[in-house]
Amino acid sequence: MKVVPSRRVQSIGAYAFAEVDREVARLRERGVEPIDFGVGDPATPTPDIIVRAVEEAVVRRAAAGYPRYTGAPEFRRAAVRWFEKRFGVKLDPEKEITSTIGSKEAVFNFPEGFIDPGDCVIIPTPGYPPYTRGTIFAEGVPYHVPLLEENGFLPDLDAIPVEVCERAKLMWINYPNSPTGTVAPPEFFKRVVEFGRKHSIIIVSDEAYTEIYYGEKPHSILEFAREGVVVVQSLSKRSAMTCYRVGFVCGDERILDIFKKVKTNIDSGTATFIQDAAIAALGDESHVERMRREYHTKRDIMVDAFKAAGLEDCTPEAAIYIWQKCPPGITSLDFARALLADDVAVVTTPGAWISDRTADGLNPGEGYVRLALVPTIEETKKAAERIRTLRISRLGT
């Protein structure tokens, strides 16, 4: 019997990090231990208050019945309380919020509720890959808008062709932005809301990084509108809970109704004891402050090192990444390879690999490497020492 993957699965490219994985394995064989800024998974242990809450909840909830698809009422109430405290936006815990299994499942499955074959989804690039993959699996057509330095890494809404606006049902935005570290100003959120209303496009705002910031607190789009708008939130980065898989989607009740119908048919909700841990996490800000300080320290160490090596200052305002410009004339892949040399051994992700080409053939990630600030402070200092000694001229500028 021949086993044939669907066209959707076939359309997914090879694992982009395979080459980096091979290089890392070669370094290890030669006895060099690389410092890994590649994948954005925090190595910070999940805070004690959360671990204790889950331990206690597993024992207390003796019956292991199915969780509610849309989250336990106490989780939804805790999330709503947190959202109001943080953003000043009051939500109805019954109608305007649902729990999700981390935010990835929400991002990937969301288009199922709204996209018919051929409908467009406007997606920023570089951007989180499930925006595109979820669109393709729902038989939609991704339209990639580039995030460019000259536009402050915000999508240029005026440059989106009218035909695309007419065919589009959804638009993804993501601020604080992964990977550029940009925080969007209130005017941008207002303009996007206006754009969505004008063209009847639902705006989905991925706000997974609102709690990791280095200056002013980032805004939520729900501070500016609710009609036609939903937010995707996650505990993963805020509370170092990537393994726990818990987040929520909130906003326009009509959109939530449709998304909840999709979810009810796809999954069976986040485990209740994990929701209990999330309630404990949402009730505590001190661990988030500690985490922010740690990321801030690591950001400063790495930014200073790149500047000392003669590279452009690419200080991010938020999120856990540095979107570092390569030396002029060097591709993102060549720069990532140079950083993997034995005497540097710093793992980064070439920007070109995490960006989609736009309709005019541009790859906006070319010319950048991404560093996820996930190693420890000690490892970060070690990496910075090695980067300071980088001889940019040796790289062929």
Q: 99: closest CA among 73, 118, 122?
A: 73
Task: Note whether 370 binds ligand PLP by CB under 6 A.
Answer: no
8 Å CB contact between 229 and 205: yes
Binding ligand PLP (rule: CB under 6 A), the pick from 96, 206, 211, 317 is 206
Query: Between the CA of residue 192 and those of 219, 227, 265, what are the distances in Å?
Result: 14, 12, 31
- Smaller CB separation from ligand PLP, 41 or 56: 41
Sites for ligand PLP among residues 218-247 (CB under 6 A)? 234, 236, 242, 247
Residue 6, both tokens: 């669907």
Task: Note whether 102 binds ligand PLP by CB under 6 A.
Answer: yes
What are the residues whose beta carbons fall under 8 Å from the beta carbon of 349, sequence distance 6 or more?
A: 17, 20, 38, 39, 336, 369, 370, 371, 372
Sites for ligand PLP among residues 108-167 (CB under 6 A)? 128
What is the CB-side half-sphere exposure of residue 150 using CA atoms within 13 A? 3
Question: Three-state SS for 327?
Answer: coil
Between CA 76 and CA 79 the distance in angstroms is: 5
What DSSP string describes 131-147? HHHHHHHTT-EEEEEE-
Binding ligand PLP (rule: CB under 6 A), the pick from 79, 145, 201, 208 is 208
Q: How far is the CB of 320 from ligand PLP (least distance, A)?
A: 8
- Smaller CB separation from ligand PLP, 104 or 299: 104
Stretch that binds ligand PLP, among 19-27, 102-110, 134-142, 384-392 (CB under 6 A): 102-110
- Smaller CB separation from ligand PLP, 103 or 135: 103
Q: How far is the CB of 35 from ligand PLP (least distance, A)?
A: 19
Binding ligand PLP (rule: CB under 6 A), the pick from 125, 178, 275, 355 is 178
- Smaller CB separation from ligand PLP, 114 or 172: 172
Q: How far is the CB of 4 from ligand PLP (least distance, A)?
A: 30
Query: Between the CA of residue 310 and those of 321, 328, 385, what are the distances in Å?
Result: 20, 11, 14
Task: Note whether 174 binds ligand PLP by CB under 6 A.
Answer: yes
Stretch that binds ligand PLP, among 98-106, 276-284, 325-333, 355-363 (CB under 6 A): 98-106
Q: Which amino acid is at 214?
A: Y
What are the residues whose beta carbons fall under 8 Å from the beta carbon of 193, sequence distance 6 or more?
A: 203, 221, 224, 225, 228, 229
Point out which residues bind ligand PLP (CB under 6 A). Answer: 40, 102-104, 107, 128, 174, 178, 206, 208, 234, 236, 242, 247
